[in-house]
Every structure is written in structure tokens, then in C-alpha cells.
Structure 1
Amino acid sequence: MDKRLSPWNLGATLYMPATRLDIADAVLHGKIPGLRSLVICLEDAVSEGDIPQALQNLKRLLQQLNAAKINSGNNEWPLVFIRPRHPDMGQWLVENLDLSAIDGFVLPKFTLSSLPVWWDIMAGTHLCLMPTLETEEVFDVVQMRELATTLLSHPCHARIIALRIGGNDLMNVVSLRRPRNLTLYDSPMGYVIKMLVSVFAPRDFALTAPVCEHIDDHAVMARELSLDMAHGLVGKTAIHPGQIDVIEQALMVSPGEHSDALRILNSTQAVFKSQGAMCEPATHRRWAAGILERARVYGLTSEKNPDGIRLMPVSQHN
């Protein structure tokens, strides 16, 4: 897979309804500072009656993106994905539109039973996949283990950038909404995220964090992001440009973590003490590799300002 399509390059993935008329400006002209990836949504963010308008808007957008790609390439663009409403729409998009400038599809309501349906649509394309885990089956560890095992040996495996955790849909399954003053980890989603990490991360699948729909409450989102990072999630869904910088800061690496990671990967000692904690290269090596990759993409925080002063990315690991 192209290094540009690394899950670490997702950052704050901004969802934009396909009815919006300013998506081309966001992709081509940097209208949204710091945007690394976006999803053009044809599913929940678009009402049924607006689907024809959304598809016409998407067609015009693709014409703009394809023309710009021919003239300049797209290496400096954000990663661009489309979220179809269902497999039938995905099939229509593949058959009727030029998707050359698109990096992949976000697959809604993804389950083991929908895998062959989606693969029939996607196999003959260049598109990468981000399946979304957001149905009742996700609460069942046995079914998730079966899905993980199947994906690992399926030809789609090489095309999966990350699995997205659909927090709002999963809360809807249990008839709940996130409380305003609590993180998702204080709800049943805390169990779900822990279970999904324990099932998919050992098999080297990246997982992204659910959206925080409380747009103006960055304090709650910052608390939630610290837990996202503690669970090894690689990025977070955003629904407002104002959330992007908060998410980016959370993805930055502290100098202490970076120092520990370097020592763990370079040490010849079986165990050593660093910054008051035990470091054991045999068990911390995978963590250390992930820390250095995050530092390469997002840079380091300043120890003097824990809110995060952006420094240059760590050049020795580029």
C-alpha cells in the first residue's frame, strides 16, 4: 500500500455531507487548515430526499478533482474518501463515476455477511477500504473475533487502511446518547472500544476513534482523546473544522515518550529504568515503533507547554 495511505496519516478525519458546495476548496485550496483526510458522506449526513442533489454535486466535484489531478497530481491533497449509503449505491458509484481522484470508500454498517457484497464491488478498483463497525454484531466478541480472522486471510486485507468505530450508531443500538459531560469511555462504548482493540490490534488492524459530537466542548473531547491515545487508536472522526487542531494536538508525542521509544528500540539491555518507569524492549517494542511513527507525522509537544507547541516532525525518522 502507498505510504501516503498509512493509517497514521488520517489524523482528524472530517466528515462532510455530499450536498456541500465547498468540498473542492477544502481539497484543492486548503480552505480548512490542518486537514489530512475527509469523507464525503452520502449516508447519515444526507437525507433521503437530498440524494439526487448530493450525487449531482459529487459528480461535479469529481470532475474538478480529476482535472486538478491531471494537471498537478494529488500528493499534497488530503486523503479523500466517499461513504456510500449502501452497497447498491457503492456499485452505482463505481460503475458510473470516474473515481480516479478518490483514495477509498468508507463502508457503512460493515459486517461479516456484507464483506463478500462489498468485495464484489471493490475488488476491481484501485480504492482502499475503511469498514465501519457500527451494528449490533459489534457488541459480540465472538462475532468480532470471527470477522477479524476472516479479514486477516481475505484478499481485501491489503486494501484496508483502518477500521472505523461508529460510536453514535453503536450507542443507538442500546438506545443511548452520550451524556454531555462524559466521555464515550464512561458509557457502554468503553467496553466496546476495549474489546475491539483486544480483538483487532493483535492482528495489526488499525482502529480509529468515534466522533465527539459536542462540538464546542473541547474539554470533554480532550479527555476523550487522551483515552483514545491510551487505547492505541490512530485518529478520530471530526464533524467540525474546529475539532481538527484539538485532535492533532492529542496525536503529538511527548518528548518523554519519544525518548523512551528510541531507547527501547536501540537498547541492548533486557530491562532498564527510564523517567521513573521500567522499560522492557521485549514487551514494549511494538508500542515504541508506533510512537516513533506518530512523532514522524505529528511532531513533539513541548514539555513546558503540555497543551502542545507544534515542533518540526522528527527528521531522523522520515
Structure 2
Amino acid sequence: MQHFSHLDDDVRARLFHRPPSDVPATGDIVDRALALGATLYVPATRDDLAATVRRRAAAGVRSMVLDLEDAVADQDLDGARLQVVRALRDLADDPPEAAVFVRVRTVDDMHRVCDGIGTAAAAPAGFVLPKVRPTVGDAFLTAVSDRAEELGVPFGVMPVVETPEVVHRETRDEELSALREVLSRHRDRVLAVRIGATDMSGLFGIRRDRDLTIYDVRVVADTIAAIVNHLGRTDGTGFVVTGPVWEYFADHERLFRPLLRQTPFAEHDAVRFRTHLVSRDIDGLLREVALDRANGLYGKTVIHPTHVAAVHALSVVTREEYRDARDVAAAAGGGVQASDYRNKMNESGPHRTWAERTLRRAHVFGVTADGVSFVDVMRALAAPEGER
């Protein structure tokens, strides 16, 4: 798959110094994880699942999850499973440019989906396992590996960390240590680790307001930090960890001032666009995506297609980031030098891992042209076809 391939060639040429590269389904696992971007969850109870996937992929969504868990009532599960199987078979006839996963409740659900599709051509990109714990996760990953070998497909698994054992401080480190050992045994199968912040908040009767980010909810923010500490290490023992869902997408009466500065939008003749984003609560989402990155998370779970542009626009590497990352990566033997932009010092030792991850992100999401900001990318993604 390739990000932004749905944009016209002239728009891509205007936006990018270096356009995104194609990321094959059997490519490097870290590149594939970074390429997930905004992962859109779609309730499996929808009658038009295959059409929905194709429509969203045509609009730039590059990863989707057909949800058999929280989005489906218990009495509707059997019917939803059948709809997932029908959708996967339909999509096999004309595959969309997107990775399609299935979130299951149990290993039995996974087996039923595999039994239903029957052929490798109809196989999903993999499975999302909610409420993962060490023992259950080990059994699930083993079962997925067996079915992948049987069908001859490279199933990936995305475990969702969200249980009380991880959230509660007295059990957190032991649980995460055990989970790290399990996931490490199945490293080639674990595509990314997802964070279930909604379930975490629910343990304390909390639902964050749309004027706040998840990092303002301290019990959840502390848990995210612990998850990254255990599972998001960049020393070869960790995994890509994705950002939690942003729940809001409607107008509302604001309690606090908008989180978006006016200057970047004024500089890019986009003041009205800023007003539109604020009215749709996208300013809070943009703030949270920036904080996700600052806390070691990449990509994000989304539940509304209007959120995709914000996540993808902020995933593109700026020309400044790219030049700094190349300079750091090229430096041998340590040392420090001023950025070409004369606004920071680049240290080849402590900044090297950042540089390597930034260059991977540049490969997947591209590098902006000089003078192009996330505002320009968002406008291009949000504009109707023909108005970009």
C-alpha cells in the first residue's frame, strides 16, 4: 500500500519533496506497522462492509478493522461473523489499497473466520486481539501462526492492552513483563501493540471531555507511559505502539479556548479551514496526535473517517525533520552539530534512534516540500476531489 496515492499527481508533486513509498504486505514489519497510520474501526454489523472498505480506501484510509468485539451486541455476533466472511470474500475479487484486519473476541472467532473464507485470497491482513493477557495472548498467537501456515498467508496480530491488570499499579509491571516475554516469542507475528484507553478510563468511571486529551487523564497517561516503557523500546526488544482512539466528531459548546494556534493557518491562507477544524473538535485530535508522538506512539485508532486526515497529515515528515535526521544518521563517531535550520543542536549519539525512526516514517509517509506544512497536507486531504 502507498499513502496519499489517491491524490492527483499534481497535488502530490506540490506537497512532497519526497513522496511516500509503497509498503508491501510482506515487507519490513516496522515499516508495515508505521504505515498503518489512522486505523479505522468499522462495526461488523454493517450490511455494506465490503463497499465501505473500498470507499474508505479510495479516500485514503490505509488500514481498517472489521470489529466483532465492542461494536457488536452479543445476540448479533453470529450474524456479524457471517458478514465479515462475506465481506472478505467480496474484497478478494477486487482488493482495496488498504490492510483489512478483523477484531475478534476469542480464538474461536478467529478460527470461524478462517474456516469461512477458506482460501488465502480472501484472508484478512491479520487479527486484533482485545484485552490481551499473557496466557491468552500466547495461545492466540500460536493459533494464528498455525492458521497462517495452513492458509499460506502472513497474518499479523495487533494485541490491545487495556485490562485492569495493566492499569492497576500493584500488578502493572508484572503483567507487562510477562506480556513482553510472550510477544517476544512471537515477534515475527506481532505487527503493533494497540492501547485501549476507553476501557482503561472506564475502570475508574472516567470519560474524558473533548476539551481534554488522554494525557490529561493521569491514571491512563501513567499506564501509557508504562506500556511504552515495557513494550515500545527501540533497542530491538520492543514493538511499534499505536495511539488510542479519539472519541469525538461533533459540534459542541466549548469550555476552553481552541488548542490550535492561528498563526500557521494565517500564514497558509487557511483561517476559515482552522475554524472548520475547531468546530468539528479536530483541534483536540491534532493536539493528542502530537502528544502521542511525544510519548513514543505512532499511528492512531480512529472511529470516524474525518479523523484520518489529521493523523496522516501529522505523520508526514517535514523537510526540516528530514534534513536533521539525515545529518544525525550520517554522523559517525558521535559529536554534535548545529542544524542547518540554525534553531537546534543535533547530537548523533542520543538523537540517532530518533533519526532512524524518522527516516522510516519518511519512507512510509513522505517528506513535505519546502514551505509546505501540515496545514497544506490536511487541506489537500480534506478537500473534495477536484478542489485540491
- Whether the TM-score (by the shorter chain) exceeds 0.5 is yes
Q: 1:18 to 1:99 in 2, by over 3 A?
A: farther
Q: Report the Cα distance in structure 2 between the residues aligned to 1:229 and 1:301, rounded to whole angstroms.
A: 18
Pairwise CA distance, 1:293: 1.4
Pairwise CA distance, 1:52: 2.6
Kept after mapping to 2: 8 A contact 1:39/1:82: yes
Q: 1:193 to 1:303 in 2, by over 3 A?
A: farther
Identity of aligned residues (%): 33
Q: 1:108 corresponds to which letter in structure 2?
A: P
Q: Report the Cα distance in structure 1 between the residues aligned to 2:119 and 2:310, rounded to whole angstroms.
A: 31
- Bigger shift: 268-277 or 232-241? 268-277
Q: 1:114 corresponds to which letter in structure 2?
A: V
Kept after mapping to 1: 8 A contact 2:240/2:298: yes
Kept after mapping to 2: 8 A contact 1:272/1:280: yes
Q: Which SS does the other structure have where 1:207 is aligned?
A: coil
- Corresponding residue number in structure 1 for 2:331: 267
Q: Report the Cα distance in structure 2 between the residues aligned to 1:17 and 1:141, rounded to whole angstroms.
A: 33
Whether 1:289 aligns to 2:356 is yes
- Corresponding residue number in structure 2 for 1:85: 105
Q: 1:30 to 1:193 in 2, by over 3 A?
A: closer
Gaps of 5+ in 2: 1-24, 149-154, 250-279, 379-388
Kept after mapping to 2: 8 A contact 1:16/1:40: yes
Pairwise CA distance, 1:135: 0.5
- Bigger shift: 95-104 or 244-253? 95-104
Q: 1:175 corresponds to which letter in structure 2?
A: G
- Corresponding residue number in structure 2 for 1:141: 173
- Corresponding residue number in structure 1 for 2:296: 232
Q: 1:31 to 1:114 in 2, by over 3 A?
A: closer
Q: Report the Cα distance in structure 2 between the residues aligned to 1:63 and 1:142, rounded to whole angstroms.
A: 41
Pairwise CA distance, 1:50: 1.8
Kept after mapping to 2: 8 A contact 1:151/1:157: yes
Q: Which SS does the other structure have where 1:35 is aligned?
A: coil
Q: 1:174 corresponds to which letter in structure 2?
A: F
- Corresponding residue number in structure 1 for 2:80: 54
Q: Which SS does the other structure have where 1:168 is aligned?
A: helix
Over the aligned positions, Cα root-mean-square deviation in angstroms equals 2.2
Q: Which SS does the other structure have where 1:158 is aligned?
A: coil
The superposition leaves residues 14-58 of structure 1 with CA deviations (integer Å, 9 ceiling, x where unpaired) of: 000111133322444556511010000000011112223212212
The superposition leaves residues 55-94 of structure 1 with CA deviations (integer Å, 9 ceiling, x where unpaired) of: 22122212212333xxxxx4x6200100012223223223
Q: 1:176 to 1:125 in 2, by over 3 A?
A: same
Whether 1:173 aligns to 2:199 is no
Q: Report the Cα distance in structure 1 between the residues aligned to 2:56 and 2:110, rounded to whole angstroms.
A: 28
| 1:119 equivalent among 141, 151, 167 | 141
Q: Report the Cα distance in structure 2 between the residues aligned to 1:63 and 1:97, rounded to whole angstroms.
A: 6
- Corresponding residue number in structure 1 for 2:6: none
Q: 1:23 to 1:4 in 2, by over 3 A?
A: farther
Kept after mapping to 1: 8 A contact 2:138/2:183: no
| 2:223 equivalent among 192, 217, 224 | 192
Q: Report the Cα distance in structure 1 between the residues aligned to 2:196 and 2:56, rounded to whole angstroms.
A: 27
- Corresponding residue number in structure 1 for 2:317: 253
Q: Which SS does the other structure have where 1:148 is aligned?
A: helix
Kept after mapping to 1: 8 A contact 2:212/2:284: yes
Whether 1:206 aligns to 2:240 is yes
Q: 1:254 to 1:176 in 2, by over 3 A?
A: same
Q: Report the Cα distance in structure 2 between the residues aligned to 1:165 and 1:296, rounded to whole angstroms.
A: 25
Q: Report the Cα distance in structure 2 between the residues aligned to 1:26 and 1:32, rounded to whole angstroms.
A: 10
Q: Report the Cα distance in structure 2 between the residues aligned to 1:184 and 1:25, rounded to whole angstroms.
A: 33
Q: Which SS does the other structure have where 1:39 is aligned?
A: strand
The superposition leaves residues 149-173 of structure 1 with CA deviations (integer Å, 9 ceiling, x where unpaired) of: 3322x1x211111000011011112
Pairwise CA distance, 1:214: 1.1
Pairwise CA distance, 1:241: 0.6
Whether 1:219 aligns to 2:283 is yes
Q: 1:23 to 1:99 in 2, by over 3 A?
A: farther
Q: Report the Cα distance in structure 2 between the residues aligned to 1:133 and 1:79, rounded to whole angstroms.
A: 21
| 2:159 equivalent among 131, 138, 147 | 131
Looking at CA atoms only, which structure, 1 or 2, has the larger radius of gyration?
2
Gaps of 5+ in 1: 69-73, 312-318
Pairwise CA distance, 1:301: 4.1
- Corresponding residue number in structure 2 for 1:277: 344
- Corresponding residue number in structure 1 for 2:151: none
Q: Report the Cα distance in structure 2 between the residues aligned to 1:224 and 1:302, rounded to whole angstroms.
A: 25
Kept after mapping to 2: 8 A contact 1:229/1:251: no
Q: 1:171 corresponds to which letter in structure 2?
A: S
TM-score w.r.t. the length of structure 2 is 0.73
Q: 1:259 to 1:158 in 2, by over 3 A?
A: same
Kept after mapping to 1: 8 A contact 2:65/2:100: yes
TM-score w.r.t. the length of structure 1 is 0.88
Whether 1:161 aligns to 2:191 is yes
Q: Report the Cα distance in structure 1 between the residues aligned to 2:166 and 2:58, rounded to whole angstroms.
A: 33
